[in-house]
Amino acid sequence: MSEKQRSTKALGRRLIPYGLLAPGAIWLIVFFLIPLYFMGEMSLRSGIPNTPQGFTFSWEFSNYTDALAGRGPQIVRTFEYAGAATIIALLIAYPLAYAIALKVHPRWRLPLLFAVIAPFFTTYLIRTVAWETILADDSPIVSILKSLQIIPNDGRLLATSGAVIAGLTYNFLPFMILPIYASLERVDTSLIEAGKDLYASARQAFLKVTLPLTMPGVIAGVLLTFIPASGDYINAEFLGGANNTMIGNKIQSTYLEQSDYPKAAALSFLMMAVVLTIVFIYIRAAGTEAFVGSEEEAR
Amino acid sequence: MISKRRFGALVAAGAALAAATVVAACGGGGGVGGADTSGITVAKGGPASGSVLISNWPGYVDPGANGTVAQFDQQTGLKTTYKEDVNDNNTFFNKLKPELDQGSSGGRSLFVVTDWMAKRMYELGYLQQINHADLPTVFQNILPQFEKSTEDPGRKYSIPWQGGQTGIWVDTSKAPEIHSVADLFNPKYKGKVTMLTEMTDTVPLVLQSMGKDPDTATKDDWLAAIDKLKAARDSGQIRQFTGNDYTEDLTSGNIVAALGWSGDGSLIGNPNAEWRRPTDGCDLFFDQAVIPVGAPNTPAAYAFLNFVYTPANAAKITDYVQYVTPVNGVRPILQKEDPKVANDPKIFPTEQEIAPCSADPLPAGGPQDVADVEAAFQEVVSG
What digits encode the pLDDT tens for the residues B142-151?
999 899 888 8
Using CA atoms, how far apart are residues B292 and B273, in angstroms rounded to an integer?
A: 39
State the number of CA atoms in the 13 A half-sphere of A207 facing the CB. Answer: 5
Q: Is B80 left (phi over 0), alpha (psi -120 to 50) or beta?
A: beta
pTM score > 0.90 for this model? Answer: no
Cα–Cα distance, A157 to A165 (Å, whole number): 11
Cα–Cα distances (Å) from B139 to A273, B160, B328, in that order, read 57, 11, 10
What's the rounded Cα separation, in Å, for the pair A80 and A236? 13
**B279-316 pLDDT per residue, tens:** 999 999 999 999 999 999 999 999 999 999 999 999 99
Judge whether residue A155 has pLDDT over 90. Answer: no
Q: Give B169's strand partners.
A: B258, B275
The percentage of residues in chain B with a pLDDT greater than 90, rounded to a whole number, is 78
The stretch B223-245 carries a mean pLDDT of 95
Q: Chain B residue with minimal CA distance to A142?
A: B254
| Distance of alpha carbon A217 from alpha carbon A211, whole angstroms | 10
Share of chain A above pLDDT 90, in %: 73
The set of residues, in sequence order, having a beta carbon less than 8 Å from that of A18 and lying 6+ positions away, is none
Chain A, 247-286: which have a CB under 8 Å from a chain B CB?
249-261
Look at residue B181 and give its three-state secondary structure: coil
Are the C-beta atoms of residues B327 and B314 closer than 8 Å to each other?
A: yes
Residue B125: C-alpha distances to residues A53, A176, B31, B37 (Å): 12, 50, 17, 4
How many alpha carbons lie under 13 Å from residue B164 in its C-beta half-sphere? Answer: 21
pLDDT confidence bin for B265, thresholds 50/70/90: confident
Rg (CA), chain A: 24
Give the mean pLDDT of B332-360: 91
Q: Which of A55, A161, A253, A259 to mutate to test the interface with B (most CBs of B within 10 A)?
A: A253
DSSP letter string, B249-275: HHHTTS-SEEEEEGGGGGG---TTEEE
pLDDT at residue B336 tops 50: yes
When the pLDDT of each residue in chain B is averaged and rounded to a whole number, the result is: 89
Task: Look at residue A288 and tell me whether its pLDDT is greater than 70.
Answer: no
* Torsion over CA: A69, A72, A77, A82 (sign): positive
Indicate yes or no: CB of A48 within 8 angstroms of CB of B371. Answer: yes
**Residue A11: what pLDDT?**
84
Contact call for A136 and B20, based on CB within 8 A: no
Average pLDDT over residues B329-344: 95
pLDDT of A247 over the 50 cut: yes
With 70 as the cut, is the pLDDT of residue B173 above it? yes
Shortest Cα–Cα distance, B318 to chain A (Å): 30
Residue A101 has pLDDT above 50, yes or no: yes
> What pLDDT does B258 receive?
97
Rounded Cα distance, A115 and A97, in Å: 12
Average pLDDT, chain A: 91
Residues of A (112-151) whose Cβ lies below 8 Å from B: 125, 129, 132-133, 136-139
CB–CB contact B382 A38 (8 Å): no
Q: Which of B35, B234, B253 comes nearest A137 by C-beta?
A: B253
Closest listed residue to residue B230, CA positions, set B259, B254, B211, B206 = B206
Q: How far apart are CA B141 and CA B309, in angstroms?
A: 7
If contacts are CB pairs under 8 Å, which of residues 74-103 in chain A contact chain B? 74
Cross-chain Cβ contact A49/B13 below 8 Å? no
**What are the residues whose beta carbons fall under 8 Å from the beta carbon of B194, sequence distance 6 or more?**
B238, B239, B240, B241, B242, B246, B249, B255, B258, B259
> What is the tally of helices (H) and strands (E) in chain B?
15, 9
Q: What is the pLDDT of residues B75-98, one digit of tens each?
A: 999 999 999 999 889 999 999 999
Count how many Cα atoms sit within 13 Å of the Cα of residue A21 in the half-sphere of its side chain. Answer: 7
Express each pLDDT in B7-49 by its tens digit.
444 444 444 454 444 444 444 333 334 445 567 899 999 999 9
Cβ-contact B289, B54 below 8 angstroms = no
Q: Residue B375, Cα to own-chain centre: how many angstroms? A: 20
CA within 13 Å, CB half, B337: 14
pLDDT band of residue B59 (cuts 50, 70, 90) is confident
**B15, B21, B23, B24 alpha-carbon torsion, rounded to 10°:** 150
| Contact in structure between B152 and B316 (CB atoms under 8 Å) | no
pLDDT-derived band of residue B200, with 50, 70 and 90 as boundaries? very high
What confidence category does residue A152 fall into, taking pLDDT thresholds of 50, 70 and 90?
A: confident
| Closest-CA residue to B311 (of B111, B140, B86) | B140
SS3 label, residue B63 = coil
Minimum mean pLDDT among A85-94, A109-118, B12-21, B222-231: which range?
B12-21
pLDDT at A272 exceeding the cut of 50: yes
Are residues B21 and A35, on separate chains, in Cβ contact within 8 Å? yes
Point out which residues pair with B274 in neighbouring strands.
B170
- Residue A289's pLDDT is 65
Q: How confident is the model at residue A285 (pLDDT cuts 50, 70, 90)?
A: confident
Cβ atoms of A90 and A226 closer than 8 Å: no
Using the predicted structure, report yes or no on whether residue A113 has a pLDDT greater than 90.
yes
Cβ contacts from A onto B, under 8 A: 146
- Give the pLDDT confidence score for residue B36 in this predicted structure: 52
Contact A245 B252 (CB under 8 A): no
B323 and B62 Cβ atoms separated by less than 8 Å: no
State which amino acid sits at residue B97.
K
Cβ B241–A51 below 8 Å, yes or no?
Answer: no
Sorted by sequence, the CB contacts under 8 Å of residue B359 that are 6+ apart come out as B115, B150, B151, B283, B284, B285, B286
Spell out which residues of chain A touch residue B368, defining contact as CB-CB under 8 Å. 48
